[in-house]
Amino acid sequence: MTYINDHYLKLTAGYLFPEIGRRVTAFCDANPAANVIRLGIGDVTEPLAPAVIQAMHAAVDELAERSSFRGYGPEQGYDFLREAIAEHDYQARGAKVDADEIFVSDGSKCDSGNILDIFGEDNVIAVVDPVYPVYVDTNVMAGHTGPADASGRYGGLVYLPVTAENDFVPELPKQRVDLIYLCYPNNPTGVVATKEMLKRWVEYAQQNGSIILYDAAYEAFITDPAIPHSIYEIDGAREVAIEFRSFSKTAGFTGVRCAFTVIPKDLKGKTRDGREVPIHPLWNRRHCTKFNGVSYPVQRGAAAIYSPEGRQQVRETIAFYLANAKLVREALTKLGIQVYGGVNAPYVWLKTPGKLSSWDFFDKLLQEAHLVGTPGSGFGACGEGYFRLSAFNSRANVEEAVRRFAKIM
Ligand code: MLT
């Protein structure tokens, strides 16, 4: 028989969100009349912005004509999109990123997993705990860890705990690490990174020859002008960081699929025999070999969010979700529940009432209030005793959800 990748057998449970989906489906099958409100997975609910729709329609019309038809596009993305990203997301904020350092893709989840293709086997990897599970699971799949212990932590990974006790700010690793995953605004806790905090990380990476994998998929939710949107707003970050960005939450593209990854040309790694080599050509090679680009209508739709109307429309939708988050925060606080995040992020992180475990609270909410959230322990051992609520839903559902909370608390 053919050998399998044994590392997959180390994965402790199903991927978190399908596991939640499985439990919710079982509940709905047993209770068909229940009106279940989902504040679990961070999936958008509001329709695409009119500017996006218009651009996508126009692009489809172009494909309908021989004279304007397009086949394969550039693997790295069309220039019109890469240039718009470089100008509006980076140069306008004083961050030096050029269009040819941007790789358009079909998702940050995919990119943050696939990036491991270009790194060696023996790197020491640090993750914050709790953490977006993709960073951990993809390292397990790639054979970069030992088996999991009873708390679900994998041998070989360096975990940086964040809890209310340290204000959800991870300490720098006590040992040298090669790759560090950071996500801000944070999934799942909804907290943000200050400039000072990112400076400390950049300095750490400079001193230790490390690379930061910076996931900024939720940057569009930052409303506080003091909070950096990109790690490249920090001096020196070009030499030590890769940044992942996505149109999923920014522009409602979770189903449409478009994202990008920035690999600055200044970023270097080293070979086994100690030579320094640039990372950019490696990712370019990987991208061209394993990926054929995002479809033309989708890239036109993504570029439309940088037009004046597109920007305004997308901002309104983000403000709508942030108002949902505020509603949840305020209602739960009134009920005496300790909440975090949800100000510059679409996620509200809460301490489970009555010291319930994360999954017990999940079951209580589902059974008694027909509400779905995400158990904090699904994001890591330090998420135990916490719970995540997403602000992605209609206003009516969010209002109903907080009414139901009040009834069962
Ligand atoms: C989440 O709920 O954490 C996200 O929707 C997951 C994702 O973006 O893949």
What is the per-residue pLDDT across 256-295, written as a single tens digit (0 to 9) for each? 999 999 999 999 999 999 999 999 999 999 999 999 999 9
Q: What is the pLDDT of residue 17?
A: 82
- Name the residue of 15, 16, 17 whose CB sits within 8 Å of the most ligand 1 atoms, as the mutation to test its pocket: 17
Give, using CA atoms, the residue closest to atom 5 of ligand 1. 42
Sketch the domain layout of the chain as residue ranges: 6-47+311-408, 53-308
Spatial contact of 352 and 386, defined as CB atoms under 8 Å apart: yes
Spatial contact of 188 and 199, defined as CB atoms under 8 Å apart: no
CA distances to 35, 375, 388 from 366, rounded to whole Å, are 10, 12, 14
Q: Which of 253, 200, 243 is nearest to 219 (CA)?
A: 243
What does pLDDT average to over the chain? 97
The predicted model gives 222-226 an average pLDDT of 97
Q: Ligand 1: does its nearest atom lie under 6 Å from the Cβ of 373?
A: no
Tell me the one-letter amino acid at 364. Answer: K
- Name the residue of 19, 39, 43, 374 whose CB sits within 8 Å of the most ligand 1 atoms, as the mutation to test its pocket: 43
Q: Ligand 1: does its nearest atom lie under 6 Å from the Cβ of 41?
A: yes
What is the Cα 302 distance to its own chain's centre?
Answer: 18
Given a cut of 90, whether residue 37 has pLDDT beyond it is: yes
The predicted model gives 67-95 an average pLDDT of 98
Taking residue 68's Cβ as centre, other Cβ atoms within 10 Å add up to 10
Q: Which of 79, 160, 150, 106 is nearest to 298 (CA)?
A: 106
Spatial contact of 258 and 249, defined as CB atoms under 8 Å apart: no
CATH of domain 53-308: 3.40.640.10
The predicted model gives 149-162 an average pLDDT of 95
Q: How far apart are CA 294 and CA 72, in angstroms?
A: 9
Two tokens, residue 306: 């940088």
Per CATH, the architecture of 6-47+311-408 is what? Answer: Alpha-Beta Complex (3.90)
Q: How far apart are CA 233 and CA 227, in angstroms?
A: 10
Spatial contact of 191 and 341, defined as CB atoms under 8 Å apart: yes
Centroid of ligand 1 to alpha carbon of 43 (angstroms)? 7
- pLDDT tens by residue, 163-202: 999 999 999 999 999 999 999 999 999 999 999 999 999 9
Ligand 1 atom closest to the Cα of residue 254 is 8
Q: What is the pLDDT of residue 25?
A: 94
Ligand 1 atom closest to the Cα of residue 187 is 3
The predicted model gives 206-235 an average pLDDT of 98
Spatial contact of 210 and 178, defined as CB atoms under 8 Å apart: yes
- Higher-confidence residue: 116 or 22? 116
Pairing relation of β-strands 374-375 and 386-390? antiparallel
Q: What is the pLDDT of residue 79?
A: 98
- Residue 349: phi and psi, rounded to 5, are -110, 130
- Name the residue of 187, 250, 257, 374 whose CB sits within 8 Å of the most ligand 1 atoms, as the mutation to test its pocket: 187
Centroid of ligand 1 to alpha carbon of 106 (angstroms)? 14
Centroid of ligand 1 to alpha carbon of 351 (angstroms)? 20
The predicted model gives 94-114 an average pLDDT of 98
Q: How far apart are CA 249 and CA 230, in angstroms?
A: 16
pTM above 0.85, yes or no: yes
Q: Which of 221, 139, 233, 242 is nearest to 194 (CA)?
A: 233
Give, using CA atoms, the residue closest to atom 9 of ligand 1. 109
Q: Ligand 1: does its nearest atom lie under 6 Å from the Cβ of 187?
A: yes
Q: Ligand 1: does its nearest atom lie under 6 Å from the Cβ of 38?
A: no
Q: How far apart are CA 190 and CA 348, in angstroms?
A: 6
The predicted model gives 361-379 an average pLDDT of 96
Q: What is the pLDDT of residue 14?
A: 67
Centroid of ligand 1 to alpha carbon of 41 (angstroms)? 6
Q: Ligand 1: does its nearest atom lie under 6 Å from the Cβ of 42?
A: yes
Q: Ligand 1: does its nearest atom lie under 6 Å from the Cβ of 250?
A: no
Q: What is the pLDDT of residue 16?
A: 82
Ligand 1 atom closest to the Cα of residue 374 is 2
Give, using CA atoms, the residue closest to atom 1 of ligand 1. 42
Q: How far apart are CA 224 and CA 194, in angstroms?
A: 10
Helix axes 296-303, 50-63, angle to 10 degrees: 150
Q: Ligand 1: does its nearest atom lie under 6 Å from the Cβ of 109?
A: yes
Cis check: omega of the bond before 50, within 30 degrees of 0? no
- Name the residue of 39, 41, 128 whose CB sits within 8 Å of the most ligand 1 atoms, as the mutation to test its pocket: 41
